[in-house]
Amino acid sequence: MDHFPTFLAVLALALAHISVSHVRFLDGPKGYIWQSIAGGAAVSYVFVYILPSLARKQIVLEKTAYFEFFARYRAYLLCLGGFLVYYGIRRLTTLPGFGRKTRNWSLLVGFSLYSMLLGYLLGETDDPGIGFLVLVTAGMSLHFIGTDQGFRGHDRQFYDRTMRWSLAGSILLGWGLGSAHLLGHASVAAWMAFLSGAIIINTLWEEVPDERSVRFWPFLAGAAGFTLLVLLVYSLGQY
């Protein structure tokens, strides 16, 4: 079984984590344009790729649930779980009782697990099509650049010295574990559903421009461009 294509995808994602500290055009007012483009593309990735993928995972999970009600909504409940867990992590670290050090390490642990889970699921992927690899690499690279820029904005020194290396190492570690195929097909689908919810909240939290940094037209261009890419891949049947 050839794991090399997914390794290249994971390596590109690890480099996306590392490179945020060196991408100077993301800093300052002009960086809002590029962040808006990346944010638009990431939101498009959620709505036109992640959510349809979630519907396909529901078909797999419906066959393995113990209760009829749970079977009918299993993928969506797991997606909601991922959404709530990472919303909780985000929200807790904004409370006044969290000092900078506690906040930094809480985010590092939470998002290292996030990166490791993505790496694991990519490692579990058998014979991926070129379209799948392009969409995952492009979509998640833009997602990581957006979220990591947010982490770096809160504490640049901690991110540059510690957090980016943990995130990059975690996704590579996850890939290594995933390539051993430790989980069954239904378990992989369940974790994919959970990760989908986490991606949704983190995209909306960090990458949708607010009133201080909003650049609507670049955001729209990013969303439209990535949507066209997804539709092209769908038309070729390579997803």
Average pLDDT of the residues in 209-235: 80
Report yes or no: 116 and 174 within 8 Å, Cβ to Cβ.
Answer: yes
64 pLDDT exceeds 90? no
Question: How many CB atoms neighbour CB 99 within 10 A?
Answer: 8
Report yes or no: 73 and 55 within 8 Å, Cβ to Cβ.
Answer: no
Boundaries of domain holding 20: 4-236
211 pLDDT exceeds 60? no
Confidence of residue 53 (pLDDT cuts 50, 70, 90): confident
Average pLDDT of the residues in 29-36: 72
Percent with pLDDT over 90 in the chain = 38
In one-letter notation, the amino acid at residue 122 is L
In one-letter notation, the amino acid at residue 112 is S
- Retrieve residue 98's tokens: 């969290």
- Retrieve residue 224's tokens: 């439209």
- What three-state secondary structure class fits 36? helix
State the DSSP H helix or E strand holding residue 147, giving kind and residue range, or none if neither.
helix 130-154
Confidence of residue 1 (pLDDT cuts 50, 70, 90): low
| pTM score | 0.89
- What three-state secondary structure class fits 101? helix
Task: Please tell me which residue, 73 or 102, carries the higher pLDDT value.
Answer: 102
Q: How far is CA 44 from CA 122, 135, 151, 227, 231, in A?
A: 20, 11, 22, 6, 11
Percent with pLDDT over 70 in the chain = 89
- Length of the chain equals 239
SS3 content of the chain, % helix, strand, coil (to 5): 80, 0, 20
Burial state string for 38-55 with b = 16 or more CB within 10 A and e = fewer than 16: bbbbbbbbbebbbeebbe
| Residues in contact with 202: Cβ distance below 8 Å, sequence separation at least 6, in sequence order | 86, 90, 114, 143, 147
Average pLDDT of the residues in 208-221: 71
Average pLDDT of the residues in 226-231: 91
* Number of domains the chain contains: 1
Give tens-digit pLDDT for 146-175: 889 889 888 999 999 999 999 999 999 999
Average pLDDT of the residues in 92-111: 89
Name the residue with tokens 């998002």. Answer: 111
222 pLDDT exceeds 80? yes
Instruction: Look at residue 173 in the predicted model and tell me its pLDDT.
Output: 97
Confidence of residue 38 (pLDDT cuts 50, 70, 90): confident
| Residues in contact with 168: Cβ distance below 8 Å, sequence separation at least 6, in sequence order | 14, 15, 17, 18, 115
**Average pLDDT across the chain, whole number:** 85
